[in-house]
Amino acid sequence: MYLNNNRYLLTGGVDPLVLCEKYGCPLYVYDSAIIERQYQRILDAFNVPKLKINYACKASSNLSLLKLFKQWGAGLDTVSIQEVHLGIKAGFALNDIIFTPNCVSIEEIQEAVQLGVRINIDSISALEQFGQLHPEVPICIRINPHIMAGGNRKTSVGHIDSKFGISIHQMPHVLRIVEATGIKVEGLHMHTGSGILDADVFILGADILLNIAKDFKYLDYIDFGSGFKVPYKEGDVETNIEELGEKISERFIEFCESYGRDLTLMFEPGKFLVSEAGYFFAKVNVIKQTTSTVFAGLDSGLNHLIRPMFYDAYHEITNISKPGDKPRFYTVVGYICETDTFGVNRRIAEIQEGDILCLHHAGAYCFSMASNYNSRLRPAEVLVHEGKDYLIRRRETMEDILRNQVEVELEAEVLVQV
């Protein structure tokens, strides 16, 4: 969002206050121009003959967003059979969908085989079973290169005791299974975590993967996962995607020459593509002054946006009702009966009850992690595209809360003290 005459505006001059009026609060809004810019940045950064970007849709899985990605030519990275179904519904070609689950049942993997999407295998056990059941179906193998990366212990998934992928130390075992079952390995994959700071760490992982790749004869693609870091506040470091692109492309082209064939270079970013494009708007219900703190209590909570509480994530907070007013310090909290703090002692333009605050960078892992805790309704989602706004998910109603509940009549009597 940019400031113009003391109003915050989205791309195309769309006024978020008008959207909040029209659709109500709390509200998620996505600006497609920012997603498109980020997608284009990745395309431009990697200069190889064959490149495919698979959007990791767990970041934000609204069908209308998926359709945009499809139209831009992206593929889809999915981690559950339900996400596979969403991808198919959004119109992705089956071989543009890759299923990268972790610790799912062999039945779920078989369901994905039946649907016809690409399969990424994440454990020795699954590889053995899969090789027995479907030796004719080509697969991708997820390797854990054991590099420590990621912003936070919870988001780092490449380290030595991580549950993800097959350890590089088990490659001889993998090769024996491949040999014994005759299964065709068409892809190798790694994903070392969310929010990798350092291009060099990424390249280290890439080198490890390429080194293993020589041992597989039938590869079509190598998937370097994601983990591109985005800045959440001023001064945050962002993955230098252009520099990374140059270095990885050079190594990849070199590898393809020695391998004897042009493979597809794949990535599967989530956060990098959609984080900045999302805004979460919530109304201030209460201003509460204590001896030490001024609280701004929102009509929202960890049920709608849990990243600050779950990951200690920082989301910039602004007062879009009165951006020009003199800033004061506020601790912004939710209405859930837990300590759900969005931000501590933030400098925000003076807030009055009824003002609308914006939590920025709310496009990734925000709505998609929302819940009905406290039996609250999940908010609506709006997409702004080429100057127009589209409702892409209705606000929930009490019916949604009740939908799957089954009321049974039980015999029970009032309990009294004896």
Ligand X SMILES: *Cc1c(COP(=O)(O)O)cnc(C)c1O
Residue from the set 144, 185, 192, 271 that interacts with ligand X by CB under 6 A = 271
* Minimum distance of ligand X from residue 394's CB (angstroms): 26
For ligand X, which stretch binds (CB under 6 A), given 12-20, 103-111, 267-275, 277-285? Answer: 267-275
Rounded distance between C-alpha atoms, residue 22 and residue 25, angstroms: 9
| Residue 297 backbone class (left: φ over 0; alpha: ψ -120 to 50; beta: rest) | beta
CB 213 within 8 A of CB 290: no
In angstroms, the CA 146 to CA 310 distance is 24
Choices 12-20, 262-270, 328-336, 346-354 (CB under 6 A): range interacting with ligand X: 262-270
The strand pairing partners of 282, in sequence order, are 357
Q: Which is nearer to ligand X, 330 or 367 (CB)?
A: 367
Judged by CB under 6 A, the chain residues 63 through 82 that form the site for ligand X are 77, 79
- Rounded distance between C-alpha atoms, residue 248 and residue 239, angstroms: 13
CA-based R_g, the chain, Å: 24
Helices (H) and strands (E) in the chain, counts: 12, 20
347/187 Cα distance (integer angstroms): 48
Closest distance to ligand X from the beta carbon of 228 (Å): 6
Q: Is 226 in the site for ligand X (CB under 6 A)?
A: yes
> Which of 245, 269, 297, 379 is the binder for ligand X (CB under 6 A)?
269
239 binds ligand X (CB under 6 A): no
Tokens of 332: 């912004």
Binding mask 359-398 for ligand X (x = CB under 6 A): -----x----------------------------------
CA neighbours within 13 Å on the CB side: how many for 274? 27
Which region, judged by CB under 6 A, interacts with ligand X, from 21-29, 80-88, 109-117, 219-227? Answer: 219-227
Q: Is 361 exposed, middle or buried (0-12, 13-18, 19+ CB in 10 A)?
A: buried
Minimum separation from the CB atom of position 154 to ligand X (A): 12
Which residue's CB comes closest to ligand X?
270
Site string for ligand X, 345-364 (x = CB under 6 A): -------------------x
Please provide the DSSP assignment of 48-85 as one string: -SSEEEEEETTS---HHHHHHHHHHT-EEEESSHHHHH
Segment (H or E) for 211: helix 199-213
| Nearest CB to ligand X, comparing residues 15 and 108 | 108
Enzyme catalytic residues: 337
Question: Nearest distance from residue 15's CB to ligand X, in Å?
Answer: 29
Which of 46, 272, 279, 342 contacts ligand X by CB under 6 A?
272
Judged by CB under 6 A, does residue 38 bind ligand X? no
**Part in contact with ligand X (CB under 6 A); list of ranges 54-62, 177-185, 232-240, 378-386:** 54-62
Pick the binder of ligand X from 59, 302, 333, 356 (CB under 6 A): 59
> CA-CA distance, 158 to 149, in Å (whole number)?
7
- One of 16, 75, 165, 227 touching ligand X (CB under 6 A): 227
151 by DSSP, 3-state: which? coil
177 touches ligand X by CB under 6 A:
no
Considering only 44-52, 269-277, 329-337, 370-378, which stretch makes contact with ligand X by CB under 6 A? 269-277
* Cβ proximity to ligand X, 141 vs 356, nearer residue: 141
Of 191, 283, 360, 361, the one binding ligand X (CB under 6 A) is: 191
Which of 120, 217, 229, 202 has the alpha carbon at shortest distance from 165? 120
**Least distance in Å: CB of 239 to ligand X?**
10
For 198-224, b/e burial (b = at least 16 CB within 10 A) is ebebbeebbebbbebbeebeebbbbbb
Contacting positions for ligand X (CB under 6 A)? 56, 58-59, 77, 79, 100, 191, 194, 225-228, 268-272, 364
